[in-house]
Amino acid sequence: MQKRLFLVENLTVVSAQLSFVVNAFMKKLFILLFLAQVSFSQTQNPEDKKTVIKIVYGGNLNVNENKYPGAKIFSKTETGQVRFEHEGMDLWCDRAVLFQDRNWVKAYGNVFIQQGDSVEMSSEYIEYDGDTKFAVSKRNVRLQNTDMTLSTDTLYFDRNAQEAYFDTGGIVKDSATVLKSIEGRYFMEKNKYQFLKEVNITNPEYTVDSAQLDYYTDSKHAYMYGPSTIKGEDYTVYCERGFYNTVTEKGYFVKKSRIDYDNRIINGDSLYFEKSNEFASATNNIKITDTINKMILKGHYGEVYKAKDSAFITKRAVAISLVETDSMYIHGDRLLVTGPDDNRVIRAYYNVKFFKTDMSGKCDSLFADNKSGITKMIRKPIMWNGESQMTGDTIFLISNVKTEKLDSLKVINNAFIVSKDTLGEGYNQVKGLNLYGKFEENKLREVDVVKNTEVVYYMYNDKNEFIGIDKTICSAINLTLNENQIEDITFFTRPDGVIYPDKDLPKNARKLRGFIWRGDERMLSKDDIFDEDDKNLVLPVIRGLNNAMDPLEEEKDPDKEIFKSTISTVPPEKKNRAAEKKKFVAQKKAKGKLKEQ
C-alpha cells in the first residue's frame, strides 16, 4: 500500500514537471509564431497595396481572345471617349485595351491625360502600367504645364518620381521662347527641364546653343554645362559653364568664358553680364582686347561700360598697346580706358610704370590721349631712354597719330638728364628749367635744354682717351645723341664753363644740385613693371568652377553628377537607357503584357 502511494506521489510530481515544460515550450512557440507573423506582415509585397486602374466610362465593350487574350476592349461612343482613373490621374482615349489582371492599359487615338491642375498630356498612343505608374506616350506627344508645352515623338513618364524623359528630339515653347534638344527630361516638382544634347533656345532678343542646359520654367533661369554660346543683338557670350536669366538677360559665366562686346573681347575665369545696363565685369586672369585700337588690357578684376565706352581694370593691371612694331606696357594700381574709338584715353593711377624695348618710366599718374598722341606723366615722373635718365615735374611724350611713331618729348620744370659715363665711373649731367626732345624712328636724336642750364660732361678724344670734365653754365644747350649716347653738345648765350683735369675737380663738385641716380629702378623687361605685391596676389575662388552653379544642386558635384540620371526608370546615357528599355519590355512580357500591335 505504501509503495502504491509512493508511486502515485512520484507520478504526480513528474506530471507537474512535464506540464511545466510543455507550457514553457508552448509559450516560446507562440512568441516565435507571433514574431514570424509580424515579420511576414512587414515584408509583404508592396504591390498587394497597389490600386487598380478604374473604368470611369467604358463605352462599347468587346473581347478578342486571339489578339488580346484576357483583355477587355473599350471604344468611344457618341456620349464620349473611354475614360480611366488611377490614383489622381485621368485618362481619355478613343479606344483602349485593358488587362485588368495585370493592371495595364494600352490607349489609342486622341489620348489625353490630366494629373491634378498642373499637368496635361496628349498623344496618339500610350501604354500605362498601374503597378509601376509608368507611362510611354508615342506620336505627336504634347506635355503641358502652367505656361510651357513640350512636344516630342516619344515620352516616358514616371509618376512615382514625377519625371518625364525623351530621346527622340523635343521642343519646349512658352509665349516668347522656343527650346529644342535631342534628349532631355522634365522634373515636375521642380518645374525644371534638363536638356542633355544639342540644346538650342530661340528668342526674339537672343539665341542660346549649349551641350547641356538646365531650365526652370518658373524663374526662366538657365544653367549651362559644356560648350555654350549666347548671341544677342550686340553681344556674344561663350562659356563652358554658366548661368543666364533669359528674362533680364543677365548672366554669370565661368570656364573658358568670353564676351564679344561691341569692339571689345573680354576673357576671364569669371564673367558677369547685364544687357539692360550694358555692363560686364570679369574676375581672375582677365584679358580685354580692343580690336580697333590694337590694345589689350589685363588684370584680375575689370569692368566694361559699353554705353560710356569705358573699361576699368585693377589687380596687376596692365595696358598693352602697339607702337608701330613695338609694344608699350603700362601698369598701375588702377587703369581706366574711356572714349570712342577715335578719341580713346588711357588713365593710370598710383604706382604707374611703363616699359617699351628702348624706353621705360614710372610716375604717380599717367594720362594718354590717342587722338592727340600725347602721354602725360604726373607727380615725380622718371623716364629712361636707353641709358639716359630723365626727371622733371611733368613729362610729356608726343606721338605722330598717323604713323604711331614717337615724335617728341617735353620735360617741364626742373628738367634733369643723367647718363652714366660709359668709359669711367662718373655721370654726365644736364640740368635746366625745361627740356625739349626730338625722336627719329622712335629713337631720341636731339635735345634742347633751356633756362638756367648747367652741364657736367666727361670728355674723350677720338681714341677714347680722357680729356677732362666740362662744367658749364649757360642759357640753353643743344644735345645730339646717337644710340642714346651724347654725341655733341652746343652751348648758347654766353656760356661760362671750364674743362677740369680729373685731379682738379673735387668729387663733391662733379654732381649738380638735385642729382639722384636711380638706375636700380630702371625696368629692363615687361615683367619689371610689377612689384612684389602684384606678383603675390591671392586670387578669389571662382564659384561654379569646381562646384554646382545651380542652387538646387549645391550638394552635388556637377563634374560627377550632372550627367548622371536622377530618374529611376530611364537614365540619360544611351547604354543605360537601352538597358532600361530592355528591362521594361522583359517585365511586360514576363507578366504576359503585349507590345503595341
For 187-233, give the secondary structure using H, E and C. Answer: ECCCCEEEEEECEEEEECCEEEEEEEEEEECCCCEEEEEEEEEEEEC
Give the CA count within 13 Å in the CB-facing half-sphere of 300. Answer: 13
Share the mean pLDDT of the chain.
81
Helix, strand, or coil here: 254? strand
pLDDT at 153: 94
C-alpha cell at 477: 644747350
Q: CA–CA separation, 301 vs 381, rounded Å? A: 26
pLDDT at 285: 92
Q: What are phi and psi of 414, to 5 degrees?
A: 60, 45
Q: CA–CA separation, 364 vs 349, rounded Å? A: 6
Contact 132, 146 (CB under 8 A): no
C-alpha cell at 19: 506540464
Question: Which range is least confidently modeled, 73-87, 188-202, 356-370, 471-485?
Answer: 471-485
Question: Can you give the residue range of the structural domain that contains 408?
Answer: 358-531
Contact 115, 159 (CB under 8 A): yes
Q: Which of 568, 594, 574 is nearest to 164 (CA)?
A: 568
pLDDT at 454: 92
Q: At a CB cut-off of 8 Å and minimum separation 6, what does 19 contact?
A: none
pLDDT average, residue stretch 545-558:
57
Is residue 389 in a domain? yes
In the predicted structure, residue 297 carries a pLDDT above the cut 60: yes
In the predicted structure, residue 517 carries a pLDDT above the cut 60: yes
Each residue's pLDDT tens digit, 566-597: 333 333 333 344 454 454 445 444 444 434 43
C-alpha cell at 245: 536669366
Is residue 326 in a domain? no
Each residue's pLDDT tens digit, 210-241: 999 999 888 889 999 999 999 988 889 999 99
Q: At a CB cut-off of 8 Å and minimum separation 6, what does 549 contact?
A: 223, 241, 242, 243, 252, 254, 543, 558
Count of C-beta atoms within a 10 Å radius of residue 422: 11
Its pTM stands at: 0.73
Distances (CA, A) of 396 to 255, 409, 543: 42, 6, 44
Would you mind telling me the total number of residues written for the chain in this entry?
A: 597
Helix, strand, or coil here: 561? helix
Which CATH number do you get for residue 456? 2.60.450.10
Distances (CA, A) of 9 to 3, 4, 6, 420, 433: 10, 9, 5, 136, 143
Q: CA–CA separation, 345 vs 593, rounded Å? A: 77
| Predicted confidence band of residue 324 (pLDDT cuts 50, 70, 90) | low
pLDDT at 34: 31
pLDDT at 453: 92
Q: CA–CA separation, 207 vs 535, rounded Å? A: 40
| Predicted confidence band of residue 292 (pLDDT cuts 50, 70, 90) | confident
Is residue 485 in a domain? yes
Instruction: Give burial (CB, 10 Å; 0-12/13-18/19+) of 562.
Output: buried
H or E segment and range at residue 41: helix 2-42
Is residue 89 in a domain? no
H or E segment and range at residue 16: helix 2-42
Each residue's pLDDT tens digit, 528-540: 999 888 888 888 8
Is residue 488 in a domain? yes
What string of DSSP letters covers 64-118?
-TTTSTT-EEEE--SS--EEEEETTEEEEESEEEEEGGGTEEEEEEEEEEEETTT
Is residue 134 in a domain? no
Q: Which of 322, 318, 338 is nearest to 330 (CA)?
A: 318
Which residues make beta-bridge pairs with 185? 165, 194
pLDDT average, residue stretch 31-53:
47
C-alpha cell at 316: 596687376
Q: CA–CA separation, 98 vs 56, rounded Å? A: 13
Which residues make beta-bridge pairs with 186? 164, 193
Is residue 372 in a domain? yes
Give the CA count within 13 Å in the CB-facing half-sphere of 110. Answer: 10
pLDDT at 174: 83
Q: Greater confidence, 240 or 552?
A: 240
Q: At a CB cut-off of 8 Å and minimum separation 6, what does 550 contact?
A: 214, 223, 243, 558
pLDDT at 9: 39
Which residues make beta-bridge pairs with 72? 98
What string of DSSP letters covers 255-290?
EEEEEEETTEEEEEEEEEEETTTTEEEEEEEEEEEE
Contact 595, 584 (CB under 8 A): no
In the predicted structure, residue 440 carries a pLDDT above the cut 60: yes
Question: Which range is least confidently modeled, 111-120, 153-162, 316-325, 426-435?
Answer: 316-325
Is residue 346 in a domain? no
Question: Which range is least confidently modeled, 48-62, 310-324, 482-496?
Answer: 482-496
Q: Greater confidence, 424 or 258?
A: 258
| Predicted confidence band of residue 176 (pLDDT cuts 50, 70, 90) | confident
Helix, strand, coil distribution of the chain in percent, nearest 5: 15, 55, 30
pLDDT at 552: 60
Give the CA count within 13 Å in the CB-facing half-sphere of 335. Answer: 30
Q: Which of 319, 233, 315 is nearest to 282 (CA)?
A: 315
Beta pairing class for 134-144 and 163-166: unpaired
Domain total in the chain: 1
